[in-house]
Amino acid sequence: MERNGTNTLLEEGQIARILFRKRHIEEELSSPEAAQNQKRYRELVRDHAMLSKLEANAGGYFRLVADIAGHRKLIDDPAGDPELSALAADEIRALEGELPEAERRLLMALLPPDPVAERNALMEIRAGTGGDEAALFAGDLFRMYSRYAENRKWGVTITDMNEGEKGGYKEVVFTVTGEGAYAALRFEGGGHRVQRVPETEAQGRIHTSAATVAVFPEADEDDDIEIDPGDLQIDTYRAGGAGGQHVNKTDSAVRVTHRPSGIVVACQEERSQPRNKEKCMAMLKTRLLENRLREQQAKIGSARKLMVGSGDRSERIRTYNFPQNRLTDHRINLTLYSLDRAMEGDIATLLDTLASTDADERVALELGKSAQ
């Protein structure tokens, strides 16, 4: 997208077509029936706030564009005053300095609000190919996300885990609690590949192993997810742990299987079986919400293949090359030679770049829809 003067892909007509919805939303909000459906009312308020923000940012952006165009006409006038032309040129330079930020604000305002972006995140990491080394790598990934969350002052709670024989995890399920946790971590879903000399390798040869990550937005009461108790199979078992005195002596761990979807969730965090069951039900609702979001995304899949948030474990999204201290994200062709820092939780730059790329794709989709 060009940002010099009035050359821009943004057009007032496109923005006006999007803003046309604002009047209809205001009419619906003012109707006596609006407050009777609280969920719909919250959606309307959210959409109205988004369109109001868009309207304000569009006004500021197009005023800049118009002012620049006006000054250019003054400069291009052959009968114009040279002193006025010089002043106009100074004004253009100042206005063009403001234009990129005004354009960025407008582009971001074009994006519809994501109702799940600010929620907590439920994450699952599973060791893939590579045996003990894959489990160790899964443990390294968990540590990376934990350190990142710690830097953000977020909480991390393990709800279920299956430790590897030589360390790490065959599987670990955990919740990241903090405002915007899902928005930041949603980009991590997929296959993660590691290339390094394993601790279990005596010959010093580089091995390739893998782990898979899935990220889900935590469900809440607004999601209206109903679960028929008759669709559930609930099993209890003795919780595992580090061994010795840390192993539970009672069957407090709970596993819940949702027969229609085949989803299985488990929790052994609490010593109380009812509390573990309660957390299992919360996780099940989260997984069912993800299925619903997937179906919604599939409807627009022909218009835009979502880069992130699909939870597709079969897609390799990233490679961690330890001998070269190199981290490569294959979705955006980004390579960073700071793998050592990334494994300590310094992944903010990576996640911000993924978020920016995703936002660019969403903006392009919105502009394309408005031009139809």
| SS3 readout for the chain | CCCCCCCCCCCHHHHHHHHHHHHHHHHHHCCCCHHHCHHHHHHHHHHHHHHHHHHHHHHHHHHHHHHHHHHHHHHHCCCCCHHHHHHHHHHHHHHHHHHHHHHHHHHHHHCCCCCCCCCCEEEEEEECCCCHHHHHHHHHHHHHHHHHHHHCCCEEEEEEEEECCCCCEEEEEEEEECCCHHHHHHHHCEEEEEEECCCCCCCCCCEEEEEEEEEEECCCHHHCCCCCHHHEEEEEECCCCCCHHHCCCCCCEEEEEECCCCEEEEECCCCCHHHHHHHHHHHHHHHHHHHHHHHHHHHCCCCCCCCCCCCCCCCEEEEEECCCCEEEECCCCEEECCHHHHCCCCCHHHHHHHHHHHHHHHHHHHHHHHCC
Q: Are residues 98 and 212 in the same domain?
A: no
Residue 366 in domain? no
Structure tokens at 128: 């893939």
Q: Are residues 197 and 334 in the same domain?
A: yes
Cα distance between residue 178 and residue 236, in whole Å: 30
Chain centre to alpha carbon of residue 85 = 48
Cα distance between residue 218 and residue 286, in whole Å: 5
Q: In the listed set 64, 89, 113, which residue is the last one of a domain according to the structure?
A: 113
Residue 3 in domain? no
Contacts of 227 (CB under 8 A, 6+ apart): 258, 281, 284, 285, 288
CA atoms within 13 A on the CB side of 2: 8
Q: Are residues 246 and 287 in the same domain?
A: yes
Number of independent structural domains in the chain:
3
Task: Report in angstroms the alpha-carbon separations of 20 from 25, 26, 51, 330.
Answer: 9, 11, 9, 39
Contacts of 4 (CB under 8 A, 6+ apart): 96
Residue 2 in domain? no
Q: Are residues 129 and 205 in the same domain?
A: yes
Give strand pairing partners of 334. 329
Contacts of 162-165 spanning 24+ positions with Cβ under 8 A: 162/240, 163/135, 163/240, 163/242, 164/127, 164/132, 164/135, 164/136, 164/138, 164/139, 165/132, 165/135
Structure tokens at 11: 């057009």
Residue 5 in domain? no
* Domain of residue 335, CATH code: 3.30.70.1660
Residue 7 in domain? no
Which tens digit of pLDDT belongs to each residue from 207-256? Answer: 899 999 999 999 887 777 889 999 999 999 887 653 333 445 567 899 99
Q: Are residues 191 and 257 in the same domain?
A: no
Q: Are residues 145 and 217 in the same domain?
A: yes
Q: Are residues 206 and 129 in the same domain?
A: yes
* Domain of residue 242, CATH code: 3.30.160.20
Residue 130 in domain? yes
- Which structural domain, as residue segments, surrounds residue 53? 12-113
Q: In the listed set 56, 84, 113, which residue is the last one of a domain according to the structure?
A: 113
Q: In the listed set 250, 276, 296, which residue is the last one of a domain according to the structure?
A: 296
Residue 175 in domain? yes
pLDDT truncated to tens, each residue of the chain (372 aa)?
Answer: 343 344 444 678 888 888 888 989 998 888 888 778 877 887 888 888 889 999 999 999 999 999 999 999 989 888 878 888 889 899 999 999 999 888 888 888 887 777 788 899 999 999 998 889 999 999 999 999 999 999 999 999 999 999 999 999 999 999 999 999 999 999 999 999 999 998 766 677 888 999 999 999 998 877 778 899 999 999 998 876 533 334 455 678 999 999 999 999 999 988 889 999 999 999 999 999 888 887 766 654 543 444 444 434 557 899 999 999 999 999 999 999 999 999 999 999 999 999 988 888 877 776 665 555
Q: Are residues 88 and 31 in the same domain?
A: yes
Which tens digit of pLDDT belongs to each residue from 6-51? Answer: 444 467 888 888 888 898 999 888 888 877 887 788 788 888 888 9
Q: Are residues 247 and 336 in the same domain?
A: no
